[in-house]
Amino acid sequence: MNKTDKVAVCSRSFSKNPVLRAELQARYEQVTFNETGRQLEGDELIAFLQGHDKAITALERINDHVLAALPELKVIGKYGVGLDMIDLDAMRRHGKRLGWTSGVNKRSASELTLAFAIAMLRHVPAANREVLEGTWRQLMGGLLSGRTVGIIGCGNIGKDLVRLLQPFGCPILVNDIRDYPDFYAEYAIEAVSMEELLARADVVTLHVPLDDSTRGMLTAELLALMKPTSILINAARGGLVDEAALKRALMERRIAAAAFDVFANEPPQDRELLQLKNFLATPHIGGSAEEAVLAMGRAAIGGLDTNQIP
């Protein structure tokens, strides 16, 4: 670590956090924070990063155009666990180093998923809306306990969700491109195909990264396999689900409900989807727990010292 290195912090939430600001400034003498309140992109992002040796990025899109304009930038510390906003091939071509730690916000994301499942099974958003509109009636919901949960992607967050589900006695189905036989055996998990998981699960939840192999993975055809009583949760990445097909399935009650924290375009513009009574939307808050913010921020600070080219 060189205390004289100039560091630019693109992330808005990192820039607003007094603990992370103090910890970073204790290590580096020259730090520029994003005080605009906006997510920086394109030429504005380049202008912000110019003249800096190191950067901390979050949802900013780091591509060849950006990197080509920043020959002095040596390393990026990634704030958060998703890498879909960073062109890793471009990082390698330009010789930039990347400091990234997986799983640092896993409990924040898995707890939100659990909250979504219970809220939708008990019709919490719809019941709240009715009370605010002056209607007082008891909507009949169901328990999470004993229901079959299908987890698509059993990485850090998927595994953490499995642990959180243990008191509920839920049979758990998993679909993943990797095999975790010891973990599956420990928690009596059944590894199945995507089609079987969608057909059998009462709650389907996504926990995969966004890349060329997962983009649009839940097509209209696959959504049609889900039970009309089932619930779909996406607290992973926007772009994994055909949102237009999901809207049709929800409107026609071919899927009971869905809860999304992430969208293909954020903020989402499909007001018809957002206003459905059986749909819950939150503004990408999966990592927005105080504890997770500190963990992600400290991992990003540590990542500024990496010697690894991705």
Tens-digit pLDDT profile for residues 198-228 = 999 999 999 999 999 999 999 999 999 999 9
Q: Give the DSSP letter of residue 278.
A: T
- Residues 253 and 214 both lie in one domain: yes
Tell me the Cα Rg of the chain.
21
**266 is annotated as an active-site residue:** yes
Residue 236's contacts (CB-CB under 8 Å, 6 or more residues apart) are 109, 153, 157, 206, 207, 208, 209, 210, 262, 286
- Residues 48 and 87 both lie in one domain: yes
**Domain-embedded: residue 206:** yes
DSSP string, 31-87: EEE--SSS---HHHHHHHHTT-SEEEESS--B-HHHHHT-TT--EEEESSS--TTB-
Domains identified in the chain, total number = 2
Angle between helices 106-121 and 124-132 (to 10 degrees): 60
Q: What is the structure's pLDDT at 218? A: 98
Q: What is the structure's pLDDT at 74? A: 97
Question: By residue range, what is the domain housing residue 42?
Answer: 6-102+289-303
Question: What is the chain's mean pLDDT, rounded?
Answer: 96
**Domain-embedded: residue 309:** no
Cβ atoms of residues 173 and 187 within 8 Å: no
**Domain-embedded: residue 218:** yes
| Confidence check: pLDDT of 180 > 80 | yes
Q: What is the structure's pLDDT at 84? A: 84
**Domain-embedded: residue 310:** no
**52 is annotated as an active-site residue:** no
- Residues 91 and 230 both lie in one domain: no
Dihedral (CA of 16, 19, 22, 23) sign:
negative
Q: Catalytic one among 97, 123, 200, 237?
A: 237
- Residues 194 and 294 both lie in one domain: no
- Residues 248 and 298 both lie in one domain: no
- Residues 277 and 293 both lie in one domain: no
Q: Give the DSSP letter of residue 168.
A: G
**Domain-embedded: residue 59:** yes
What average pLDDT does this structure show over 60-66? 95
- Residues 169 and 269 both lie in one domain: yes
- Residues 165 and 17 both lie in one domain: no
What is the percent of the chain where pLDDT is above 70? 100
Candidates 230, 226, 241, 167; CA nearest to 203 is 230
Q: Catalytic one among 195, 266, 290, 291?
A: 266
- Residues 29 and 93 both lie in one domain: yes
What's the CATH number where 13 sits?
A: 3.40.50.720
**Domain-embedded: residue 39:** yes
| CA–CA dist 268, 153 (Å, integer) | 24
Phi, psi of 169 (to 5 degrees): 65, 35
Where does the pLDDT of residue 2 fall: very low under 50, low under 70, confident under 90, or very high at 90 and above? Answer: confident
- Residues 244 and 179 both lie in one domain: yes
| DSSP run (H or E) holding 55 | strand 54-57
**Domain-embedded: residue 232:** yes
Q: Catalytic one among 284, 290, 291, 298?
A: 284
**Domain-embedded: residue 211:** yes
- Residues 65 and 111 both lie in one domain: no
- Residues 122 and 257 both lie in one domain: yes
Tens-digit pLDDT profile for residues 222-269 = 999 999 999 999 999 999 999 999 999 999 999 999 999 999 999 999
**237 is annotated as an active-site residue:** yes
In this structure, are strands 172-175 and 149-152 parallel, antiparallel, or unpaired?
A: parallel
